Amino acid sequence: MQRISLSKVFIYSIAFLVTGVIFAQEEEGEIDTERLIIVKPYSPTVSDAFKVKQVPVINDSTERKKKAVAYDIFSFPVASTFTPAKGTAAGVTRKSAPRLYDNYASLGFGNYANVAAEFYSNINLDRGKEVFIGLVHNSSQGEIDEARLDDKYYDTGVEIGYNAQGRGFTWGVEAGFQHQLYNWYGIPDYFQPTKTELAQIDPQHSYYAATVGAHVDMEQGVFDESKLKYRRFGDNFGSAENHVKWIPKFEFPVVDQMIGTELSFDFVNGNFDESYENIPVSNQYGFFNMGVAPSIKIQQGDLSVNLGAQLVYSMDIENEDNNLYLYPRISGSYRVSGDYLIAYAGAEGELKQNTYYEFAQQNPYVSPTLSVAPTDKQYDIYLGGKGKFSDHASYNIRGSYTSEANKTMFLHNPYIVGSTPKEGYENFNSFGVVYDDVTTLSVFAELQFALNEDLSLRINGTYNNYSADAQDEVWNLPEMEGSFALDYQITEKWFAGASVFAVGERNVFLDYQDAFSTYQTKGKLDGYVDANLRVGYKINERLSLFLRGNNLLTENYRPWFGYPTQGIQVMGGASYQFDW
């Protein structure tokens, strides 16, 4: 996005922040009792009663998402590293509400020495006060036939927090820790190092993250809510990153409307102690983004409109370069035909603060030699329609056009012969990050069916058409994506579910240099389909058994170039819920 002048910023700020308050006072009157004449006796009547029709809630991707459950730990996926992150299917509607317990534990074992464990607990201390504890663990010994290096991994996270309800407000604090271990095992097939060279490679690396946070929600007053979170992230190669994000929100009454204002303070700084193949990199980074986003919501019959904008001042601390950005935050919807057709549209943008932590969660095989900078999402203009065909079927169709400056893409790191000794990530088996200006034309469609109280399913698909500026292609971004999910309560005791994830082809770029020549080529990484099935049996209201099968099409597909996945994965286990 082009920089804007301070004069324009001043005009925009005046338009959003200047408000008027009008006070009116009504003079008191007197009744002349001498001339009061009753011409008709009072006859009270009761108006016709009417029933307020219930407006069904349409669960789709455009509805406002619920707040994250307190048990979520770092928001990292719990699926196997060797399969794509699995979405959780919608819950099955039960005929009678089951008893809810404050504690839950689950443990499962499978082939490839896979282990999955979860534990959640709510401890009520007093009225309105509680302590929660969460633990998630996933691990595997790997054992992939095509892997020539150690491919085991584990991912463990724990979180503890405290929530309390005061007079007119709620507040809470939380802290967590996460430890992840991975291996850069993805050496391409055509790259054939000797057994001696393979034995000298140490592919193991670890990530560490520690977080603390706090939040407060006010029921009345100008101050609405505030969220604060700090995360310390690093690895076993000396990398370190600090990320602080604070978002306070306010609401001001102006005449008959409420003006909402969101402030944001986002600070990140870090450093990398490593370089790639002795190639100099900018190993330190620091950004401080401050934003203000006023907005107003207008409701007029079937029309609902949100008008707003965000002004962001960004400071590049290391390079002493500052920029000012202005983004639209406009959205609206109109009920064309009740709940059967709701048209919606909008234009939104943001300055996205990229971090080493987020890169490592998206692709755990990145090298600790990255360039970290924010992405300027200039605008995302969208238009769509949603609604229902009947009480059992709903739909959502959306088209959008997005422009992003400095959009991030993962690119396979080059291999340079002769550079010794090599680190574990310098053997044609890791990824870096590149930035480019990219526009995206996207079409999304989704159908949801609740055939009865026991059976529900959802299917969706996305088509993306990318256009890059400096790069020849967009790297590792699929053109087509889709998913299918089904939940079925077979009997009161038996339940089952299925899910399918499809990802299309992705563009990759390979750079191989030896003593005689340089080999560079563009190619396509094959798409894949991952089919999964789960079956469970409820022994009683506390204890259940489950059996899961992942990647049932037996395809050792590659979510990243050079990284084959595990084949058919079968896991069995039990879950137990209880009260202390």
pLDDT tens per residue across span 378-409 = 999 999 999 999 989 999 999 999 999 999 99
Beta bridge partners of residue 560, listed in sequence order: 563
Q: Is the pLDDT of residue 62 over 90?
A: no
Q: Quick check: is 55 in a domain?
A: no
Q: What percent of the chain has pLDDT over 90?
A: 68
Beta bridge partners of residue 211, listed in sequence order: 176, 231
Residue 537 · residue 573 · CB < 8 Å: no
C-alpha distances in Å from residue 224, one per residue of 118, 166, 216? 34, 15, 9
Q: Is the pLDDT of residue 44 over 60?
A: no
Q: Is the pLDDT of residue 289 over 50?
A: yes
Quick one: tokens of 513? 């240099």
pLDDT tens per residue across span 444-486 = 999 999 988 899 999 999 999 999 999 999 999 999 999 999 9
**Which pLDDT does position 52 carry in this prediction?**
37
DSSP category for residue 365: T
| Residue 97: pLDDT band with limits 50, 70, 90 | low
For residues 231 and 157, give the distance between their C-alpha atoms in angstroms, rounded to a whole number: 14
**For residue 193, how many other CB atoms are within 10 A of its CB?**
15
**Which pLDDT does position 280 carry in this prediction?**
59
Residue 273 · residue 237 · CB < 8 Å: yes
CB under 8 Å to 404, separation ≥6 — which residues?
A: 375, 376, 377, 378, 437, 438, 439, 440
**Which pLDDT does position 555 carry in this prediction?**
80
* Mean of per-residue pLDDT scores for the chain: 84
Q: Quick check: is 559 in a domain?
A: yes
Question: How many distinct structural domains can be found in the chain?
Answer: 1
| Residue 580: pLDDT band with limits 50, 70, 90 | confident
* 376-409 burial: b if 16+ Cβ within 10 Å, else e: bbbbbbbebbbbbeeeeebbbebbbebbbbbbbb
CA atoms within 13 A on the CB side of 518: 3
Residue 214 · residue 173 · CB < 8 Å: yes
Domain holding 388: CATH number?
A: 2.40.170.20
Q: Quick check: is 485 in a domain?
A: yes
Provide the residue range defining the domain that includes 99: 6-45+70-578
**Which pLDDT does position 281 carry in this prediction?**
61
Q: Quick check: is 77 in a domain?
A: yes
CB under 8 Å to 558, separation ≥6 — which residues?
A: 525, 526, 528, 564, 565
Residue 436 · residue 410 · CB < 8 Å: no
Angle at 170 between CA 164 and CA 171, to 5 degrees: 65
